[in-house]
Structure 1
Amino acid sequence: MQKATPLFLVLVLAATAAFLSFSPNTNSPGNQESLNTKTTTSKEESQLTANQSGKADKSSAYPKPWPQEKSDIPADPKAVFGKLDNGFRYIIYPNSEPPSRVSLRLHIASGSLMEADDQQGLAHFMEHMVFNGSKHYAAEDLIPKMQRLGIAFGAHANAYTSFDETVYMLDLPELSKDTLDLGFNVLRDFGDGALLQEKEIDNERGVILSEKMSRDSIGYRLMQKQYDLMLPDSLISKRFPIGSSDVIKNAKRERFTDYYNRYYVPDRMTFVVVGDIDPAEMEKRIKDSFSSMTNPDNAGADPDLGPIHSPEGLKASVFTDDELTATEISLTSIRPYEAKADTKENRIEELPLALANAIVSRRFQRITQQENSPIVSGSASRGVIFNYAELGSIDVTAANDDWQAAVPVMEQEFRRAKEYGFTEAELAEVKANILNAYEQAVKREPTRKSDALASALAGSVNDASVFSTPQTNLDIVREGLKNVSLESVHQAFTDFWNTSGYHLVLTTKTAPEGTDKQLAAAFEESRGKPVEAPETRKTVEFGYTDFGKPGKIVSRNEIEDLGITQLVLSNQIRVNLKKTDFETNRIRLLARIGTGQLSQPADTPMFDAFATAVFEGGGLGKHSNDELQEILAGKNVSSGLSIGEDAFNLAGSTTPKDLQLELRLMAATLTDPGYRKEGLWQFQKAVPMIFQQLKHTPSGPQQEMNAWMYGNDFRYTVPSAEKLNTYTIDQVKDWLNPQLTKGYMELTIVGDFDMDTLLPELLATFGALPTRDATPPALDDRRKIEFANAPARKLFTYESKVPQGIATTIWKTDGIRGNQPEFRRLNILASIYGDRLREEIREKLGASYSPSAGASGSDAMDDVGYVIGQSIAKPEDVDRLLDTMLQLADKLSTEGATQDELDRALKPVIGQLKKSLRDNGYWLGTVMSQCQLQPERLDLARNRDEDYNSIKLADINALAKKYLGSGNALLVGIKPQE
């Protein structure tokens, strides 16, 4: 079940999650041979503990007992829980996916809430400072030492600070003694070995202020105002993790050491180790590394968060800013919360309300699909903030900023649920979805990734929730769902909202004086109108089961060394298959069809985005999207179209059990798209929000920069809103239908399937489709791009009161097509350039929080590639940073890199290569998706590791000299208009 989150809680989480010390590794923003190893947290992984938001007991005593000691829920028996004599806790979890790797987390139960008034921001500042000099590592040595062992700065070494926790994360690429020693030594130093030297503190002040600036936005500023409204007397509204600029600029070293010595203490620490390890060996390492830590006599205490005041009656409030992207209305109830232990009873107790909120959210979703709907989105939700405040929220986003029309929709759907409850069909749908999510978590347990598990364990520490097995979670949910009824779900919703005190909050662009009274009056007027019971909806069966006479396999080629089977079907569809055990109970599919943007009608900028929205929002001929959600509830199928530079991509994901349905769904998507007007309506409602964002954020000038860089080719430009609104569904049909029904197709399937089961279903669906083109048209004239002439310097602006600038340096290179070996080396060169940006602009100048560099290129267009560097900065610093970035590149071009720089850039990449071989995404997207059209891709995969290992310093320096000279540079500044 997709669980909605209250808008106010979304703001809390945004404030919490924003403050990472390091940005992700962005060395390959457009690399078609990317390793595709980025881990994302799936819905199933997020439910590893089945702990509903905030449902755990967080006592103030440290060290805390393990949650399972106060629960009837057993902890996962694979996890080893322990505590040293000094109170330092640890969790060890053996896990072999991926092999020969280990993930470490150091959780510290302290965040910005523990700061004194004159320490605001120092919890987050401390997260930076531990990297800037410690007992065993000088400030300038730590990151290079990690890089030499294959630990990439940002990708494998990261951290975050929240209101109530700080977490350090290290993902080690191998298990050698040197690597493990560094991992344990670093995290021990973070715990009590930071030097906090005044020079380093002063150097880092600019970095923190730059980060504060880079996180700034109109939404963030309004979030702070909403905190003050909802929690005016709470410490939470006064302790945002980024802190006070005045404190960041002026805090004395003593205020840092005071916080560090009182809160970075073993009683508040939990160490997590997950990976391909021996628990006994790890336990000994933990004891050897952390037993000597001591707790101070004056250890810090948890703060009093202050009182919570619910309003009497309806309290209407209005927040305005002309740069807002959308108009939102929230009805919120907030009250004190009493924490409870994580038990079966308490988990089950929360299910009915969660189901009710899911149903109300679905009702809002249906309304958004109606013609002239007053809302763009809506949801109902409940959440808990730090086991301190409980809140419920009904949220809607108004179409065309018309809040007067949206308020009655919100109020009446809220009241309809309270008065009439729900239908059997609605309840069956959400029950099926939540049960399926937990069932899939059980089936995918054997191949859970260590980094996701480590983060989930750290999360359970902060939540004080039992880290139980997926099977235990499923058993509890099954027990809870067995006793759920329409009456109990309705009762849970009415009980939760049995309060007379509400906040009604409007955020919009402009509002005259007295709008708060008008808002309240609109709500009260709606209350006086009767609502009817919800309609009873008929259940419908999936209407696509017969696609005609099954096709045949006319050619089969086994590529044994790569484990790939290539088929050609009788209708000329090419199929690539690879059975793997990398993700249990999961199968990924990708059909590349036709020619994509190469065939986009002339002079139709953003028509690809319009076509995608219309196609995706239009459902199928026999079923609307709303019907499909009902039909497919509890199933594991998906089908989504995207439009690439040279192909239409239809992607899906499924399980062995639902493979037949998945193939039918994808075949139906190709043969009978619905083109209903719902997709058009929803896109048209989004257009004003798109252009508001382009006008008032850096995304607008970034789009202008891309258009300029690509010679203003219409495929990379943004049209006027007026032109965008002239596009029609018939135009989409004229473009897509010939491509989707006749265009060259290569279907790739990777994952946990049985070949004997798959082939008959494949032939009955895709094999039964009409004959298609045997090859795609060349369209050579559409592959040519006139890249901007260098050298050049440009400035692009946007309208905003938020002082945020971006400095960008670009050097054109050859593209990827037929040039993969050079492009691999360009990635390494860009990494070296990015590291020099970090050292100079972040570490020495303190002028930008996260300067980065990467290499990008097109696999479809001729001779289109570039190396790019970017730094977010104060607007007044943009020109200075452009000059600095150019000087750094020019020096790299003329003097070359060093062998140490090459080693530090290359070693993390080499570490990722082995990991990628057990990544279905790498095989699906990089190796196989067009390996019959371009058979050379198989050789590129075969020689990839050898080629990377053969990279020499001379290769890198030759490319630096070839491309990175100042005479080849495009310099782009982005600033708010003055």
Structure 2
Amino acid sequence: MKILKPLALAFLLPFTTEIATAYESSALNPEAKEILHKDSLKWDSKLPFDQEVKTGKLKNGFQYYIRKNTEPEKRVTMYLAVKVGSIVENDEQAGLAHFLEHMNFNGLKHFPKNELVNYLQKAGVRFGSDLNAYTGFDETVYQLPIPSDDPELLKNGLQVMRDWAQDAMLETSEIDKERGIIMEEMRGGRGAMQRMRDQFMKTLVNGSRYADRMPIGTEEVVMGFKPELIRQFHKDWYRPDLQSLIVVGDVDPAYIESEIKRLFSDMRVNEKPKARTEYKIDLLNKNQFIAVTDPEMTYTVGQIIIKHKEQKINTVGDYRLALMQNVYTQMINNRLGELSQSATPPFIQGGIDIEDFFGGLENMSAYFVSKPGAFEEGFKTLVRELDRVDRFGFTDTEFQRAIVALNKGNETNYVERDKRKSDSYVGTYLNHFLKDGPALSDEDRYEITKQLLPTLTLKEVVAIGEKYYVDNNRDVVILAPETEKANLPNEATIDKWFKDIDNEQLTAYDDKVSDLPLLAKEPVKGTIKSEKEIAKIGTKELVLSNGVKVLLKPTTFKNDEILINAFSPGGTSLYSDADYMSATFAGNLINSSGVGQLNTIELQKYMTGKEANVSPYIGERTEGLSGRSDKEGLKTAFELIYGYFTAPRIETDVFQGILSKQIDMLANRDNDPNFVYSKAALNTLYGNSIRRLPFGKPELDNVSQQRALEIYKERFADASDFTFVIVGSFTEEEIKPYLENYLAALPSTGRKEVAKDLNLYEPAKGVEKVVYKGKEAKANVRIAIYGDYTFNDTENVNMDALEKVLSTRLLERLREEESGIYGTRASIGYSKYPKGRYSLSVSFGTSVDKYKSLIASTLDEFKKIKANGPSQTDLDKFVIEEKRQLELSLKENGFWMSQLVSASQNGEDLAGVTKYLEDLSKVTVKSVKDVANKYIKEDRLYKFILLPEAAEKK
């Protein structure tokens, strides 16, 4: 089961701005108030609740949310939310909320022992991917997406939710078995970040209870608590007044409601329920500082966290302020992004966010990843940009672009509202139940956003910073490698840097925008030379006048999504080792620069509000482009394609900036045990090949700006051997003009190329490689086999079956039977070119004293499947899972893109996917046993083992 990350550090997570702050009423300017009143949208009115949701509360306090949604068809997603997490634990219970989450998969009233997972797998539900749960500080949440077209399965799915709510068996034998599994989960999370978190967490949460209530718990409690303790915890907290069921999918809401009433109305109600205290983090009204180092940390991070009391999004005015926060952070992040793209970037990465914290707080978080030895420069640059906004605000052009971007996102979401996946609704209703957050309908969100955006003013957006960027309740947190300890600033130095910037003579930001069109001139139009129907899959193959091949697959899976992929044979395989680094960086350098008449910054601003993206690449065996667009952005997308073929550029600033950041990121990577382990494995398999080992500074020094551009132009000089695959919401009539005007106009020389076989194959005889690196007492193991492969549909589907049944058996044995691991799976890959090859690997983490026995168990499972094949039950699980996943995949643009590209590159039947169910039906115990015997070769077995440094001394 996954664990909710206890600390959302901004430098580790993508930026999202969902949290709003309710200013006092005077913060809304009079003109905006007037506009809102005229549109019958009062700023202080409560946000409307989604009327498409059926809600209710049973007499015992149990709540529910039910929404009918038919994307995907014949599927339903169910979530059980419990307002109980690790924060309610006392010292002797530390970790029991999370332990209890595990136990809900190890024996329920109607699904004893491990029958729950077994039953659902037989229905095609994937353990870990579909069936899952997490435990946080304040809540525990269980998820179950299942098919809804089987009445018995739907009924039993609801029974699972009911059993999760209150009917865990909590047998002593199962509790004792689970101790080891949770210990391995705990062990797997140990490392530099965990050790540093243990030091800075108390500061970050202002010394509150949260610092001592990490959901994973403590080893002492996990291994030593008496079973009666967790049973009492379950009785105290798993009760209807703290629970809610969320059901979204292709179901009859009236039936679901009747079943909820039938199943959940009889839940036990405690006569004297424990009070569910809502724990808060107090503001200290002072600033704090902490610097933490660790010998395994690979980079230095500086973070400024300014805490504020959380204020909920309840009204239209609150929502409007959320929009302004979004605009504010978007504009500052754009400025920081420009700085990071300069020839001498002040930091490797940097950004800000205004986000939810926990314990009743929210915060403004500004972070940067420092270049080695340049912490002061990165810190001052970050603060300088925040101060620049305080003094000079933003430009009107920046503001207008941010509004355009938000408006485009709002329009795009609205256009796709009837194609919205059921899973995407769940978070809103979870947040409503757990945190009393807003739950707007798609219509209301669209209309309110559309009406509010024109009322936002630049002055108000600047005021967001004035509210959040203050010199109080501010934490400065530094995380760094041990080797940087002597170079880090202390608190007095940090305070001085803040004052130094206060006294600097800053200048206003200059927003450089180009009025030039992307292309200097229109392409010379070509024609469509031939067309061929591939009726089985609703696809058409076109050949253009310059030799370009185009595969078109119009779909209705999305209302306005078009995917584009182009490829041709060659890639870096055609270049010498001396040119390899320039060749391999060429695509990234081109993609990071401008194109046509626009440099990189001008291009980014030009693309604001356009739903179009195209990225060139050069891989080992192919070069090409990948992109996406909506109908409105198609012209821009095809202009970009034409530009990347005919007018590419590598800007000197971009080249220098990317290479310098790459070099900076190498500085401390050898501190990381996992990097050292991975590099040693690659070295064992491929010797010193520059094409397989991680590159270092000497290799980066060999990247030539001029040569990279030359190689790129060589790869894209001839479009005649390119195949373009276009999938999505278009008609032939709509797309053909773009094919003629842009793709048929691409340069063509008619050359014939094939990718080169580099003969970089793993040695036939396996070996054992042990790496000693790291402080933590844990072992990582990877068992692998490589060899030649017979690539065809029959062999492929049997190898897929082998992968699945091996994964099932290894998880059952190593985790459930031996309690030696938290998770594992078999991974099998195969390819046709440059020649048929396969790889089979199994990876897991465990304790140092168990890894040898677990390797033996893994190899024993290899022997068993070779001797007996899989069980029919495990094979049936594979077949039903494949069928159920195919039902979903066939209605995804991305799936069809992948299928068409793969079939084209491998010279396979483009309509081959239509035969998959037939191929699947031919998989038998014997056929899987045969591929197991053919490819599981003991003499080819590699064992890669990572042990702590202390183990080498024993």
Q: TM-score if structure 1 supplies the norm length?
A: 0.89
Which residue, out of 533, 557, 577, partners 2:532?
557
Deviations along 1:84-136, whole A, 9 cap, x unmatched?
A: 22221111111112221211111112111121221111111111111111111
Q: How far apart are 1:541 and its partner, in Å?
A: 4.3
Counterparts of 2:938 and 2:349 in 1: how far apart (Å)?
48
Match of 2:454, as an amino acid? Answer: K
2:771 counterpart residue number? 796
Change (3 A) 1:459 1:725: farther
Q: Structure 2 vs 1, CA of residues 77 and 502 (structure 1 numbering), >3 Å: closer, same or farther?
A: closer
Which residue matches 1:864? 837
Q: Which residue of 2 aligns with 1:260?
A: 234
Query: Structure 1 CA distance, aligned partners of 2:870 and 2:21?
Result: 50
- Taking a change above 3 Å as real, the CA distance of residues 114 and 773 of structure 1, as seen in their structure-2 partners, is farther
Aligned with 1:355 (options 302, 319, 327): 327
CA contact (8 A) 2:518 2:595 kept: no
Distance change >3 Å, CA 189–CA 933, structure 1 → 2: closer
Q: How many residues align?
A: 922
1:966 paired to 2:916: no
Q: Give, in angstroms, the shift of residue 424 of structure 1.
A: 0.4
Q: Which residue of 2 aligns with 1:906?
A: 879
Which residue of 727, 738, 746 corresponds with 1:769? 746
CA distance in 2, matches of 1:227, 1:626: 38
Higher relative contact order (CA 8 A, sep 6+): 1
Which residue of the partner structure matches residue 660 of structure 2? 684
Give the 3-state SS of the residue equivalent to 1:715 in structure 2: coil
- Comparing 907-916 with 286-295, greater Cα deviation is found at 286-295
**How far off its partner does 1:906 sit?**
2.3
> Which amino acid in 2 is paired with 1:529?
E
Q: Select which of 947, 952, 955 maps to 2:927.
A: 955
- Structure 1 residue identity aligned to 2:411: E
| Cα distance change, pair 731–398 in 1 and its aligned pair in 2 (3 A) | same
Query: Could you say which residue in structure 2 is the equivalent of 1:847?
Result: 820
Matched-pair contact (CA < 8 Å) for 2:132–2:142: yes
Residue of structure 2 in register with 1:187 after alignment: 161
| Residue of structure 2 equivalent to 1:380 | 352
1:102-251 map, 5 Å = 102-251=76-225
Which secondary structure state, in structure 2, belongs to the residue aligned with residue 319 of structure 1? strand
Amino acid at match of 2:742: T
Instruction: Give the aligned partner of residue 737 of structure 2.
Output: 760
- 1:766 to 1:545, Cα distance in 2 relative to 1, 3 A: farther
Question: Is 2:478 the counterpart of 1:503?
Answer: no
Looking at structure 1, the residues matched to 462 and 663 of structure 2 have their Cα atoms a distance apart, in angstroms, of: 37
Partner residue in 1 for 2:30 = none
After TM superposition, the structure 1 stretch with the greater mean CA deviation from structure 2, 685-694 or 373-382, is: 685-694
**Distance change in 2, residues 1:460/1:950 (3 Å):** farther
Partner secondary structure for residue 937 of structure 1: coil
Is it true that 1:734 corresponds to 2:722 in the alignment? no
CA-CA distance at 1:955 after TM superposition: 0.3
2-side partners of 1:612 and 1:687: how far apart?
A: 18
Aligned to 1:805: 779
Q: Which amino acid aligns with 2:723?
A: E
Query: What secondary structure, in the 3-state scheme, does the structure 1 residue paired with 2:536 have?
Result: coil
Q: Taking structure 1 as reference, are residues 785 and 609 closer, same or farther at Cα in structure 2, changes over 3 Å only?
A: closer
Deviation at 1:476, TM superposition (A): 2.0
Q: Check if 1:540 corresponds to 2:506.
A: no
| Pair 1:280–1:613, CA change in 2 (3 A) | same
Q: Distance in 2 between matches of 1:813 and 1:156?
A: 33
The equivalent position to 1:12 in structure 2, one of 2, 7, 11, is: 7
Aligned to 1:480: 452
- 2:369 & 2:924 partners in 1: Cα distance? 55
Q: Give yes or no for contact 2:428–2:438 (8 Å, CA) kept in 1.
A: no
Deviation at 1:16, TM superposition (A): 15
Deviation at 1:621, TM superposition (A): 4.2
Structure 1 residue 53: deviation in Å? Answer: 6.0
Deviation at 1:586, TM superposition (A): 0.8
Letter of the aligned partner of 2:330 in structure 1?
A
By how many angstroms is 1:528 displaced? 2.2
Answer whether contact 2:313 2:319 (CA < 8 A) is retained: no
Segment drifting more, 566-575 vs 805-814? 805-814
1:414 correspondence with 2:391:
no
Give yes or no for contact 1:261–1:299 (8 Å, CA) kept in 2.
Answer: no
1:598-647 C-alpha deviation (Å, 9 max, x unpaired): 32432666666533432222222422222112111111011123443421
Q: CA deviation at 1:879?
A: 2.9
Which position in structure 2 is the counterpart of 1:432?
A: 404
* Separation in 1, partners of 2:555, 2:574: 35
Output the amino acid matched with 1:76.
Answer: D
CA distance change for structure 1 residues 142 and 55 in 2, over 3 Å: closer, same or farther? farther
Q: 332, 335, 344: which one pairs with 2:308? A: 335
- The answer for unaligned runs of 5 or more in structure 1 is 1-8, 19-41, 57-69
Match of 2:551 among 576, 580, 584: 576
Q: Can you give the 5+ residue segments of structure 2 that lack an aligned partner in the other structure?
A: 24-43
> Out of 925, 930, 938, which is 2:898 matched to?
925
Q: 1:674 to 1:17 in 2, by over 3 A?
A: closer
1:255: how far off? 2.1
Alpha-carbon contact 1:810-1:867 (below 8 Å) kept: yes
For the Cα contact (< 8 Å) 1:328–1:506, is it kept in 2? yes
> Cα 1:567–1:947, aligned 2, differ >3 Å: closer, same or farther?
same
Secondary structure, counterpart of 2:99 in structure 1:
helix
Stretch deviating more after TM superposition (572-581 or 445-454) = 445-454
The 5 A counterparts of 1:32-111 are 51-52=18-19, 72-111=46-85
Farther-moved stretch of structure 1 (392-401 vs 575-584): 392-401
- Cα 1:691/1:572, change in 2 over 3 Å: farther
SS at match of 1:395: strand
Further displaced range: 96-105 or 803-812: 803-812
Deviation, structure 1 residue 403: 0.6
**Corresponding position of 2:800:** 827
CA distance in structure 2 between the partners assigned to 1:803 and 1:71 by the alignment: 57
Alpha-carbon distance in structure 2 between the residues aligned to 1:538 and 1:136: 65
- How far is 1:965 from its partner? 4.6
CA–CA separation in structure 2 for the residues paired with 1:851 and 1:303:
38
Aligned-partner SS, 1:375:
coil
Query: In structure 1, what is the Cα distance between the partners aligned to 2:379 and 2:667?
Result: 24
Structure 1 pair 280–300 and aligned structure 2 pair: CA distance change class (3 A): same
Partner of 2:678 in structure 1?
702
Between stretches 745-754 and 217-226, larger displacement belongs to 217-226
| AA matched with 1:13 | A
Partner of 1:27: none
Q: Does the residue aligned with 1:648 lie in a helix, a strand or coil?
A: strand
CA distance, structure 2, for counterparts of residue 173 and residue 775 of structure 1: 49
1:666 aligns with 2:641: yes
Q: State how far apart, in whole Å, the 1-side matches of 2:267 and 2:891 are.
A: 39
Mapped pair 1:787 → 2:762: yes
| Residue aligning to 2:244 | 270
Q: CA deviation at 1:323?
A: 2.4
Whether 1:371 and 2:364 are equivalent positions in the alignment is no
In structure 2, the residue matched to 1:6 is: none
DSSP-derived class of the 2:850 partner: helix
Tell me the distance in 2 between the aligned counterparts of 1:596 and 1:55.
54
Q: CA 1:318–1:778 in 2, change beyond 3 Å: closer, same or farther?
A: closer
Aligned with 2:510: secondary structure? coil
Q: TM-score, normalised by structure 2?
A: 0.92
- The answer on 1:937 being equivalent to 2:904 is no
Relative to structure 1, the CA distance from residue 720 to residue 292 in structure 2 (aligned partners, 3 Å threshold; closer, same or farther) is same
Distance in 1 of aligned mates of 2:655 and 2:50? 45
Give the partner amino acid of 1:392.
Answer: M
For the pair 1:470 / 2:448, whether they are aligned, the reply is no
Letter in 2 for 1:445: R
What's the counterpart of residue 693 of structure 2? Answer: 717
| Selected match of 2:298 from 310, 314, 325 | 325
Equivalents in 1 of 2:609, 2:531: separation in Å? Answer: 35
For 2:370, the equivalent position in structure 1 comes to 398
Q: Structure 2 counterpart of 1:200, which letter?
A: E
Aligned twin of 1:450: 422
